[in-house]
Structure 1
Amino acid sequence: MSQGQFAVVTGASTGIGLELARCCARAGFDLLIAADEPAIETAAEELRGHGGKVDAVDADLSTTEGVDRLYAATKGRRVDALLANAGVGLGHAFLDQDFNRVRRVIDTNITGTVYLIHRVGNDMRRSNAGCILITGSIAGFMPGSFQAVYNGSKAFLDSFSFALREELRVTGVTVTCLMPGATETEFFRRADMMDTSVGTAKKDDAAGDAKAGFEAMMSGKGDIVTGIKNKIQSAVANVLPAGVLARQHRKMAEPGTAKS
């Protein structure tokens, strides 16, 4: 990858997003990274150690104003790669959840992501070049009892990425969907799921997930499910009835299922 190409990575302060940004930095991309917390500046300092130009934006990407702020920070520079990774989770039964938090999941995972892709994607289509990576999830393959809104949001992103890829098939723009499983990040703590089986179980490595997603994006692949266990889970989810999947998910995500 030649020097001077430009990547935008969202949700890049920790976890898979930070690892994706590291992949871009190592490949010689200049970076614009974003998250809704001051830790994004710490991430930027580390990433500058790879030698490229790195700018950071602390913005709430659940809002159109936050997305507009991020887009403005590109300063009109052509985006060669957009890694749309920002997302939040939420555990517990839907009717017990605070609706403001429910709304934030939808606005961050779906509305903000779609708006950002609409803005940057139009620029890419006009220049007939660019790569888009969307962080979906194998959670999108199954009804998420006690994660109902989160899994629904990932089902949307998984579907949206395949549809958008087909629409752009005759252009120079590629769309790749990264679909990891449970990964060792801050996700489960922030989603109030540390009293669940999935929250306390051994998880995949964020660096490995990011590397697989980055390589799939750079090669123009349509999708990548990371890890053999996740590949099996996704295959099984395609054949089991939705009701069975929902009951299985309950065993992983219902509060109080954590193993002592």
Structure 2
Amino acid sequence: MEQIALITGASGGIGLEIAKLFAKDKINLLLIARSEAKLINLKQQLEKDYPIKVHYIAADLSVIDGLYVTQRYIDENALQVEHLVNNAGFGDYGPFVERSMEKYREMLGLNISTLVELTHYCSKEMIKRGHGRILNVSSTAGFQPVPYFAVYAASKAFVINFTEALHKEFEKTGVTTTVLSPGATQTGFIEKADMGEAKLYKSGVMSAEDVARVGYNAMKKGKLHVVAGFGNRIQAFFSSMLPSSQLRLTIAANVMKKASR
């Protein structure tokens, strides 16, 4: 069977940069994203630059059909997922009741349900073989409730808890699970989440390349949890240490408010 790294949300941002790191290590890829045009261009470029084979699936993983297409492709092409990177996800910024419930359903489907199902599907085979690496991309938003970003932050808290639990369950199987928690990162996420006016993004943000490298290296070493960026690590530490929930909420709400013009 052909060994591969499966990456969701691979057509841009952190997912794209992680794909490049696998390619540099001469690891074949299965890339999943919605845009077939971007995936075709990426396949051509990576296969030109590196001695690897790149598979791709243009699918919407926020719905169950996208997951079925992915599983069928893996089975029909006799692919062995040695590395799984659950990177696909998106947020939606603004007062909870003013945003679309339809978008929330899509977000929860992608950020939680698809991540769990792909992890279940791939980890069963990894455990049978006695080896495998899983990287789930969360966010520093997952360390505390975040007003104006309530559903997204809650979904990322799930990813952190879920990944940490599996890390313990899998500790004697040869399979590791790592969770990467980036802070503000320069990707298409900002535009999709409608966050251009948030204070959080008015200061410096990390590059997707730097965040990808942090997560990739942690996954290869089998680490449990890594936060990208020194400032984000400090923020995550104090978020967990603040004794007052009200204080944490006040600070988070202030950070997420729209910046004054």
**TM-score band w.r.t. shorter chain:** over 0.9
Shift of residue 63 of structure 1? Answer: 1.6
Paired residue for 2:252? 249
How far is the alpha carbon of 1:78 from its aligned partner?
A: 1.2
Unaligned ranges ≥5, structure 1: none
Q: Are residue 32 (structure 1) and residue 30 (structure 2) matched?
A: yes
Matched, 1:129 2:131: yes
What letter is aligned with 2:192?
R
What amino acid maps onto 1:249 in structure 2? Answer: A
Matches within 5 A, 1:205-220: 205-220=207-222
Question: Structure 2 matches for 1:214-233, cutoff 5 A?
Answer: 214-233=216-235
Secondary structure in structure 1 of the residue aligned to 2:70: helix
SS of the equivalent of 2:111 reads helix
Q: How does 1:116-195 map to 2 (within 5 A)?
A: 116-195=118-197
Give CA-to-partner distance per residue, 1:196-248, whole Å, 9 cap, x none: 11233321111111111111111111111111101100100011123222221
SS in 1 for 2:201: helix
Percent of aligned pairs with the same amino acid: 34
User: Could you tell me how far 1:40 is from its partner in structure 2?
Assistant: 2.6
Q: Secondary structure at the match of 1:78?
A: strand
Partner SS for 1:73: helix
Partner of 1:42: 41
* 2:62 is the alignment partner of 1:62: yes
| Correspondence for 2:20 | 22
Structure 1 residues 97-129: Cα deviation after superposition (integer angstroms, max 9, x where no partner):
110001111010000111111111111111111
Give yes or no for contact 2:3–2:79 (8 Å, CA) kept in 1.
Answer: no
3-state SS of 2:146 partner: coil
CA contact (8 A) 1:5 1:28 kept: no
SS at match of 2:241: coil
DSSP-derived class of the 1:55 partner: strand
Which residue type is aligned with residue 53 of structure 2?
Answer: K
CA contact (8 A) 2:63 2:106 kept: no
The residue number in structure 2 matching 1:237 is: 239
Residue 42 (structure 1) shift: 2.4
Q: How many residues align?
A: 255
Asked if the contact 1:200–1:259 (Cα under 8 Å) also holds between the matched residues in 2, the reply is no
C-alpha RMSD of matched pairs (Å)? 1.3
Determine the C-alpha separation between the residues in 2 that align with 1:27 and 1:259: 45
Give the TM-score taking structure 1 as reference length: 0.94
Matches within 5 A, 1:76-87: 76-87=78-89
CA distance in 2, matches of 1:178, 1:43: 24
Correspondence 1:104 to 2:106? yes
User: Could you tell me which residue of structure 2 aligns to residue 258 of structure 1?
Assistant: 259
Which AA in structure 2 matches 1:229?
A: G
Instruction: Give unmatched runs, 5+ long, in structure 2.
Output: none
Aligned residues of 2:139 and 2:180 also touching (Cα < 8 A): yes
SS in 2 for 1:80: strand
Shift of 1:41: 2.5
Matched AA of 1:194: G
- Whether the 8 Å contact between 1:194 and 1:258 is mirrored in structure 2 is no
User: Partners in 2 of 1:94 and 1:239 — Cα distance?
Assistant: 26
Distance in 2 (alpha carbons) for counterparts of 1:40 and 1:100: 27
Give the secondary structure class of the aligned counterpart of 1:83. Answer: strand
